[in-house]
Structure formats: C-alpha cells, structure tokens
Amino acid sequence: MVVVAQLVERWLVVPDVAGSSPVIHPMDVVSNAASSTDVEREAATTSRSAPDLPWQTVVWNDPVNLMSYVTHVFRSYFGYSKPEAERLMLQVHNDGRAIVATGPREEMERHTEAMHEYGLWATVDRIS
C-alpha cells in the first residue's frame, strides 16, 4: 500500500486500451433480473405513481458502490427513512435496479442528474 503512490501516476487518466471493453448497457447487466411484470409490480407499489406522473428515476446496480453509501445517498438526498432507503438499496443490489422516484419528467431528470453527481448509475424512464 505505502509504495503505490508513484506507481499509480498515470493509471487513472490513461485508459488501458487493451483491457477496456465496450460500455455495458444497463440492461445487459441486469439480464433477466427485471422482467416486465417486475417493472409493473414495482410501478404499482410505488405509492406516488399516478396517471399524471408517468416518469420515474431508476437506479441500476453496479459492482463498485458500497451498500452503506447507496443507502446513505437515498436517505440524505431523497429523505427516505433508513428502512426504506435500505429496502431500495437491496432492491438495486438484488434485482439489478430500483425505482427511487416517480413524478413529472423534469423532476425525474433532476433526480437523475443528482444521482450522477453521487456516482450512482441512474436513468429516466417513462412508466409504460
């Protein structure tokens, strides 16, 4: 650990071209984890979903973010209770994705942008 400072000199900036791979689409990562019925069930159980609020912010699983950090973000940004934040975090972890907010499009984009600032993988979806 203590000898690495010199070694990392350019590792962050210059991509390892040989080792790099194409960007993985979120759907590839979750594969079959979220079927359309799952999505419908999620949408139905999201209490704030309504016909006039047809958009949602979805957070996707990634292999990097710590579970405690994701929970922390859901609590501090959305103001969710600890149990609710943990439930959503586990849903992301286990199912590959979770709907963290539902509402008007602009608001969902604002949430998505905020998630990107936190380093979470988020997308905007129209509720189908």
Partner 1 sequence: MRIEPEITGVLIELTPMERRLLATLLAQYDELVHDQLDESDLSGDPALARLFPNAYPDDDEAAAEFRRYTRDGLVERKTANSGLISAALTGASDDGRLTVARDDAEHWLPALTDLRLVLAERLGIRRDDDPLPENELADVYQWLGELQWSLVEALD
Least distance CB 42 / partner 1 (angstroms): 18
Give the Cα separation of 63 and 51 in Å (integer).
34
* Cα(24)–Cα(47) distance, integer angstroms: 31
Q: Does 3 bind partner 1 (CB under 8 A)?
A: yes
Taking the CA atoms of the chain, what radius of gyration do you get in angstroms? Answer: 17
16 binds partner 1 (CB under 8 A): yes
Among 35, 51, 63, 79, the residue binding partner 1 under the rule CB under 8 A is 63
Write down the least CB distance from residue 52 to partner 1, Å. Answer: 20
Give CA–CA dist 57/110, Å, rounded: 9
Q: Is 116 in the site for partner 1 (CB under 8 A)?
A: yes
Q: Which is nearer to partner 1, 25 or 35 (CB)?
A: 25
DSSP 8-state class, residue 85: H
Task: Return the residue matching tokens 């710590």.
Answer: 66
User: Of 47 and 128, which has the nearer Cβ to partner 1?
Assistant: 128
Query: Per CB under 8 A, does 52 bind partner 1?
Result: no
Eight-class DSSP state of 53: B
- Give the C-alpha separation, 128 to 39, whole Å: 9
**Chain positions contacting partner 1, by CB under 8 A:** 1-5, 7-13, 15-16, 19-27, 29, 61-66, 68-69, 72-73, 76, 109, 112-113, 116-119, 121-124
